[in-house]
Amino acid sequence: MKIDILYEDDYCICVNKPHDVLVHHGKFSRNNADENSLLQLLEQQFGEKYYPVHRLDRRTSGVILLARQTTDVATFQKLFTDQEIQKTYYAVVRGFAPEQQYIDSPVKGKDAKAYKDAITELTLLKTISLDIPVGRYDTSRYSLVKLAPKTGRMHQLRIHMKKISHPIIGDGKYGDHRHDAMYVEQFGWKNLFLHAGSLSFTHPFSQEVLHINAPFSEDWNALFLKFGWRNPIGS
């Protein structure tokens, strides 16, 4: 599996993580002894070790930032803790989402003992109604949304979308299995439709202002074509 580099310099790299790839093996991941993590794939491909600054769920695709040296990880992580980095995600969700919504429902992660504040800003981009029955309805409705998380809790976006009754398509844990099954049966699309589309930040060492986009995968591009939706970040 070839990993595409989106940006690199002497301090960090940004890569486009494929769907269904672990960033690294850990106690909360579904580990498989024969499965390579993103870090292992990168080491095999480039002969170097890299160190993740943040995380993406296994089934979430898109841009992820990694440091070249362990000593620089904390410097890059400070961008996240100080909210000096802008993260933009895209998701396909069930139903017609609101034009704008500020979601501030607390989230409890797997390893957390208490709920923590979590904030997500939602912007509606596109909607579609399909003449495909799901459950008791004769048609099915979906939305393309842009999500800007202001905090970084585990499964935050997936939980927040379920909370407002617009679960993400392909989300086996928090989603609607009837709609997920329809996407597989009708279109052959099996992935979670959640993509980390971009990171924007001022480089802590070079002071360069960076805006890094991650292209969508084949399933996403097939969906855009099928639904007549414009790709929001280009090819």
Q: Which residues are catalytic?
A: 57
Show the 3-state SS of 116-151.
Answer: ECCCEEEEEEEEEEECCCECCECCEEEEEEEEEECC
Distance CA 72, CA 82 (A): 16
CA–CA gap between residue 20 and residue 29 (Å, rounded)? 11
- Kindly report the CA angle at 97 between 91 and 103, in degrees rounded to 5? 80
Three-class SS state of 44: helix
| AA letter at 206 | S
d(CA 112, CA 103): 20
For 91, phi then psi, to 5°, come to -145, 150
Q: Which two tokens stand for residue 160?
A: 């927040």
Are 132 and 185 in contact, with CB atoms under 8 Å apart? no
Indicate the angle between helix axes 177-187 and 218-227, nearest 10 degrees.
Answer: 90
- Residue 89's DSSP bridge partners are 147, 196
Residue 58 φ/ψ region, left for φ over 0, alpha for ψ in the -120 to 50 degree band, beta for the rest = alpha
